[in-house]
Amino acid sequence: MKEQDSAKRVIVWADSRQIAWCRDVVACLGDAIKVVGIGGERNNDVVGFADELGCEFTDDLRQLLIEQHADYLLNAIGKPMDLDDLATACQQGVAVLSPEPFAATLQEYNAVEELIKKAAQNARLIRVPAFVRSEGYLSAANPQEVLGVQRIVRVANIGRVGTLSLFARLYDAWFTALRFVEMPGSVDASLVGALGDVPEQLNHLTGTLSCHARLFDNGAALIQVSDRAGQSCRSLHVLGDDAELTVGENGYDLRHTANDGDENPAGGVIDHVDDSGNVTFIQQVAAQWQGLMDEVAISNDETKHEIPNGREVLACCLATLLSARTGQPESPKRALEMG
């Protein structure tokens, strides 16, 4: 156990739909953190959590950020943060952990980038839980070097209601896919289980969404996301000319696809770490957060800039939404130009 005086100071900002998992994450991290402020939606569950921890509830996030000198803000409101509150967090040098993307439009993304450029030294914008910061992904060290030409990338990110939104899962899936391939030429998406018509805004998406993307080199990317599943499950599969990579929550498998003789037969294992698979949403968030505090999960370059290709990721999300609305293939490049 860490001494309480070395614990990271944390503000929790939540609504009634998210407070249950926030409570569980705080419990998982134990003495590594100290909650110094709780606010958000004035709801019995949120106010009750504040009472449990001896914190005075407030609905003024700016005041909390200025007065409490927090190391971290856990934003669990279920939508992108208000830009004014985000600006205050950046000015105060607070690391913001958010299950939701920090922008739902390209205009918002540009505004967030400007905030980061002016942010205090310790300010960070970090999505949690991000699959590329999972134990399985981090243990698969630079597999691109042996994959050869990558023909198909498939990403799945599904989970229960009350954890990540469908937009957050779609964003994370595209972020993961774009680590391996360039922005696709077109995407063809369908949304099922939606409540009514397909919405016009990304942060209103709900249901189960699948997407087929055509790459400029005749490859393909396949995306499957849902906020209506029974349990959390995230995975990555990349099929290349030379090798095949499968990544789960805490393990991976890398195998030859080309038959190069007896020493490297097709299907032969190049590298492998067992994947237990059963990692809950709570464990995903807590593990990434602990990694941040231990300075092992992400590099200094990544802490300052939430993602290296954020505009392209958001453009893919916007094209996916538009395709689900129109029933036709749509172009991420056009979405990028219109933004």
Tell me the percentage of the chain whose pLDDT exceeds 70: 92
Residue 91 shares a structural domain with residue 141: no
Q: Are strands 57-58 and 72-76 parallel, antiparallel or unpaired?
A: unpaired
Average pLDDT over residues 138-153: 85
* Distance (Å, whole) CA 302 – CA 20: 29
Among 110, 127, 144, identify where a domain stops: 127
* pLDDT-derived band at 162, boundaries 50, 70, 90: confident
Q: What are the CA-CA distances from residue 209 to residues 4, 87, 178, 179 (Å)?
A: 44, 33, 18, 21
Among 59, 94, 127, identify where a domain stops: 127
CA angle, residues 217, 221, 222, in degrees to nearest 5: 155
Q: How far apart are the first and last CA of the chain?
A: 48
Residue 143 shares a structural domain with residue 180: yes
Digit-coded pLDDT (tens) for 231-280? 899 999 999 999 999 999 999 999 999 776 656 677 888 999 888 877 89
Angle at which helices 83-91 and 106-117 cross, to 10°:
20
Listed in sequence order, the residues at least 6 apart from 294 whose beta carbon sits closer than 8 Å to its beta carbon are none
Buried b (16+ CB within 10 A) or exposed e, 75-90: bbbbbbbeeebbbbbb
pTM: 0.92
* Distance (Å, whole) CA 33 – CA 21: 16
The whole-number pLDDT of residue 236 equals 97
Residue 174 shares a structural domain with residue 281: yes
Residue 142 shares a structural domain with residue 227: yes
Residue 42 shares a structural domain with residue 137: no
Residue 181 shares a structural domain with residue 326: yes
* Distance (Å, whole) CA 211 – CA 201: 17
* Distance (Å, whole) CA 154 – CA 176: 10
| 109 located within any domain | yes
Phi, psi of 18 (to 5 degrees): -110, -15
Residue 216 shares a structural domain with residue 326: yes
Q: What is the CATH number of the domain that holds 100?
A: 3.40.50.720
| 167 located within any domain | yes
- Total domain count, the chain: 2
CB atoms within 10 A of CB 52: 12
The whole-number pLDDT of residue 119 equals 86
The whole-number pLDDT of residue 118 equals 86
| 72 located within any domain | yes
Phi, psi of 27 (to 5 degrees): -65, -40
| 338 located within any domain | no
Q: What is the CATH number of the domain that holds 154?
A: 3.30.360.10
Phi, psi of 102 (to 5 degrees): -85, -5
Residue 226 shares a structural domain with residue 276: yes
Residue 184 shares a structural domain with residue 112: no
pLDDT for 298 beyond 60: no
Digit-coded pLDDT (tens) for 180-223? 999 999 999 999 986 678 999 999 999 999 999 999 988 999 99
Tell me what the pLDDT averaged over the chain comes to.
90
Average pLDDT over residues 316-339: 95
* Distance (Å, whole) CA 147 – CA 233: 24
* pLDDT-derived band at 29, boundaries 50, 70, 90: very high
Among 96, 111, 127, identify where a domain stops: 127
Question: Token pair for residue 161?
Answer: 């209601």
SS3 per-residue string spanning 223-240: EEEECCCCCCEEEEEEEE
6-10, 28-32, 118-122, 320-324, range with the lowest pLDDT: 118-122
Residue 305 shares a structural domain with residue 206: yes
pLDDT for 307 beyond 70: no
Residue 81 shares a structural domain with residue 142: no
Whether the upstream peptide bond of residue 129 has omega within 30° of 0, thus cis, is yes
- Tell me which residue range forms the domain holding 174: 132-333
SS3 content of the chain, % helix, strand, coil (to 5): 35, 25, 40
Residue 114 shares a structural domain with residue 139: no
